[in-house]
Structure 1
């Protein structure tokens, strides 16, 4: 590995600064805005952490929205594995690279890259705790220079993640073997103020854990013991829990929080609400 004890969940701005010149560390800027897909790249061009590459949520961290049968897979389906690996190699990532993902939105997009790397068996990936604001608060500067990395050679290994399909979630409505946890804001969960997806509401039986509740007032994650206590009130066994959101992005934030809490094994429903509500035959619940 790139160091004796790789970073696998979070890294502080101070620890990143101390290792930022390590050639085997790759920093990836994941800033994005769901309502303005160009905002992340504009922000990156205006100033980013030195040597950071830019990852576009729609192009690099998501795949085609239509399945082979023409059905809608959600707003941000998982990318095909070969396309993901091509993007990672383009950023210079190898099998032994320590990857650091950051954004300016509390980790909501950086956690997606964290999960995707784990999905191909790459454990040495961490999210910058507090994001770009923490980096700047630590007195570190930004640059407008874009690096030109040498191609990397990362390869897929046994996944460190699990995922479920819409069919799995539908079956669960009958057997109730899994606990579904929705990471969206409480009003959208209740079916109110829905401005992104065509239908408001949530998957019947789902519980609500707004991803921003994983954070402290300063934008850094809550300590592991606190996350353990809060998630423990929602789920009995992490291995039977499924994290979802609007399109499979902020659900990864809850999965990161679970990992920080030492609650391992929860699955991601990548299609999430955007896929679920696209089929009128699937039931919808509203209210708290």
Structure 2
């Protein structure tokens, strides 16, 4: 049973240094304010509430729910036709920079931005960035906000969904069965990994067999909702046991916290072959595949063997 907690190691890998003045993949409020007039990015405010009370100048309301599934499987990826329609209504174009803005109240907020980033990248958008710290960091920097809603000019798109950064339940099942080689990384807090709690939509608590525990919060500057930048890729590979081009599959409950993990490993650390399992444990727990750290599993097996 894998019980590898890598937080201490990653804390030495990810620092709190300044980010490069670029729209890829992270941008700070001051960088965005300085570069936006020239770059003219589309700014997506992905909050489900609060847009009308104040948002970045020119920001378009694009609630996170657009890229999510239903209540029975929140991590499911919407049909590409539905995504295409939603992105057209937002006026998105694949030749224009896009900056994704979460609330920024907690590190969990970043996962929403990372999931939107992953979805846009998977549908062919390439000039993408996340505002580190979100709306709250923008206002804390004393930068202006506005309350007037921005009505985008609809666009026309022809999207396909790439599975380059996606791991399906079939893929994960093959890893669990040993017919495919990959490092499974559980991005949830340890109480989920250890099976002491579960998502309401999950059938069973526990984790994927052989998974390593690497909570998403590890990647953030301590005490802040801002993600830190990768500085030592070699140490990160050693910590995760990555070598020979092996795939890395990040998962959580519904592909939210794991989106942060995917973003940190793929977009910041620059690791190749990093995939997100969007359905994560809610989807996997609905199968009859084995899991680890399931409460009562050992005692149930003991009763079956010894009849006690």
Q: Distance in 2 between matches of 1:255 and 1:264?
A: 11
Q: Please name the residue that 1:178 is paired with.
A: 182
The verdict on how the C-alpha distance between 1:160 and 1:102 changes in structure 2, with shifts beyond 3 A counting, is farther
> Which residue number corresponds to residue 284 of structure 1?
291
Give the 3 Å change call, closer, same or farther, for CA 169–219 of structure 1 in structure 2.
Answer: same
Question: Pick from 220, 224, 227: which aligns with 1:221?
Answer: 227
Shift of 1:179: 0.9
Which residue number corresponds to residue 27 of structure 1? 43
CA distance in 1, matches of 2:275, 2:263: 11
Q: Name 1:75's counterpart in structure 2.
A: 74
| Greater RCO, 1 or 2 (C-alpha within 8 Å, sep 6+) | 2
More helix, by proportion: 2
Q: Could you tell me which of 33, 36, 56 is aligned with 2:63?
A: 56
1:126-174 Cα shifts (integer Å, max 9, x gaps): 1111222221222113222110111123443684842122122112122
Cross-structure match for 2:210: 205
CA 232–151 in structure 1, closer or farther in 2 if over 3 Å, else same: farther
Q: Secondary structure at the match of 2:144?
A: coil
Shift of 1:235: 3.9
Shift of 1:46: 2.2
Cα gap change, 1:118 to 1:189, in 2 (>3 Å): same
Q: Secondary structure at the match of 2:42?
A: strand
Q: State the TM-score, normalized to the length of structure 2.
A: 0.78
Gaps of 5+ in 1: 32-39, 66-71
Cα-Cα RMSD:
2.5
Whether the 8 Å CA contact 1:121–1:160 is kept in 2: the answer is no
Work out which of the residue numbers 195, 198, 213 in structure 2 matches 1:191. 195
1:261 equivalent to 2:269? Answer yes
Partner of 1:147 in structure 2? 150
Conserved in 2, the CA contact under 8 Å of 1:248 and 1:268?
yes
| Post-superposition offset of 1:228 | 6.0
For 2:240, what is the secondary structure of its paired residue?
coil
